């Protein structure tokens, strides 16, 4: 892998981690267009590095909130900080359970299932459209809301459903304040990203990875910088009710994917 490919992968990772367009769905479309053997792929080590970069960008943007989460978990007091921390933990359970219990079944869905990707992109478009039309409130996230949002994150494991799009749309449709919805969506994924990274490292698949240092560094910096921009941009998009643009994009790409799947 050269540094140009690493740069492209870093930019794509930084954008799709936060923008509601489904990175997994687009990856499947790339595989379909170029053929699985010719599609650009990242090594396992590069994948871990890119995820670390976007996780770090989230941590930088929400450093104050993440500090409060840790304080809430370890101060042993029942206050708003502790409640919010427990809600984050609670929201992680559905996706973590699905990822562990149905790993082999989920892998079957990432094998040129273009028609599925198309329909899931359309579902993402519908969610984004209705979320954009929802009334603006100042409601916070309840424990029950955290579970429902967590379920939407678990469903978003399917290729074509945007994780950020599904969780933010679900939050807004539940009547939660838009800024709080975006914040909760991005905070709840950080532990899952770190957990997935730990699993990949523990699995030993990167031990023989020969990717050189320069592409790894380029990919990391690109994903980190673009992730910072995309995360901040996405928060503004949600607050300003601009999700419809992404809904139109997902609808068009979804229809094209379904058309070419026949």
User: What pLDDT was estimated at residue 175?
Assistant: 92
In the chain, domain spans: 3-261
d(CA 236, CA 233): 5
How many residues belong to the chain? 262
Q: What are phi and psi of 176, to 5 degrees?
A: -80, 145
Pull the structure tokens for residue 17.
Answer: 């981690």
User: What pLDDT was estimated at residue 42?
Assistant: 56
Q: What pTM did the predictor assign?
A: 0.85
List, in sequence order, the alpha helices (H) in 35-113.
44-61, 63-74, 80-101, 103-107
Burial of 180 (C-beta count, 10 Å sphere; 0-12/13-18/19+): middle
Condensed to tens digits (0 to 9), the pLDDT of residues 88-147 reads 999 999 988 888 787 777 777 666 678 999 999 999 999 999 998 888 788 889 999 999
- Which of these, 257, 234, 229, lies nearest to 245 by C-alpha position? 234
User: What pLDDT was estimated at residue 34?
Assistant: 64
User: What pLDDT was estimated at residue 176?
Assistant: 93
d(CA 12, CA 54): 11
User: What pLDDT was estimated at residue 10?
Assistant: 86
d(CA 151, CA 207): 34
Q: What is the DSSP letter of 111?
A: S
Please give the C-alpha separations between residue 38 and each of 29, 73, 136, 257, in angstroms, as whole numbers.
13, 46, 46, 19
d(CA 23, CA 195): 19
Low-confidence ranges of the chain (pLDDT < 70): 1, 34-44, 76, 109-112, 203-211
């Amino acid at each position: 892998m050269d540094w140009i490919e690493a740069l492209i992968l870093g930019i794509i990772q930084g954008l799709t981690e936060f923008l509601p367009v489904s990175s997994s769905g687009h990856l499947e479309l790339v595989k379909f267009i170029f053929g699985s053997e010719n599609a650009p792929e990242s090594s396992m080590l590069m994948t871990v590095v890119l995820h670390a970069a976007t996780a770090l960008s989230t941590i930088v943007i929400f450093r104050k909130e993440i500090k409060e989460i840790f304080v809430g978990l370890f101060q042993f007091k029942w206050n708003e900080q502790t409640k919010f921390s427990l809600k984050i933990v609670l929201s992680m359970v559905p996706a973590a359970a699905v990822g562990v219990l149905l790993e082999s079944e989920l892998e079957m869905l990432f094998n040129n299932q273009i028609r599925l990707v198309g329909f899931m992109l359309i579902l993402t478009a519908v969610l984004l459209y209705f979320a954009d039309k929802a009334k603006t409130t100042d409601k916070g996230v309840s424990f029950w809301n955290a579970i429902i949002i967590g379920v939407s994150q678990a469903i978003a494991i399917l290729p074509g459903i945007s994780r950020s799009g599904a969780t933010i749309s679900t939050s807004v449709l539940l009547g939660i304040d838009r800024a709080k919805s975006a914040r909760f969506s991005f905070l709840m994924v950080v532990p899952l990203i770190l957990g997935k990274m730990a699993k990949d490292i523990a699995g030993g698949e990167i031990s023989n990875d020969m990717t050189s240092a320069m592409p790894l560094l380029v990919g990391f910096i690109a994903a980190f910088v673009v992730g910072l921009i995309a995360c901040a941009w996405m928060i503004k998009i949600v607050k300003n009710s601009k999700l419809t643009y992404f809904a139109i994009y997902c609808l068009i790409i979804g229809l094209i994917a379904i058309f070419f799947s026949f």
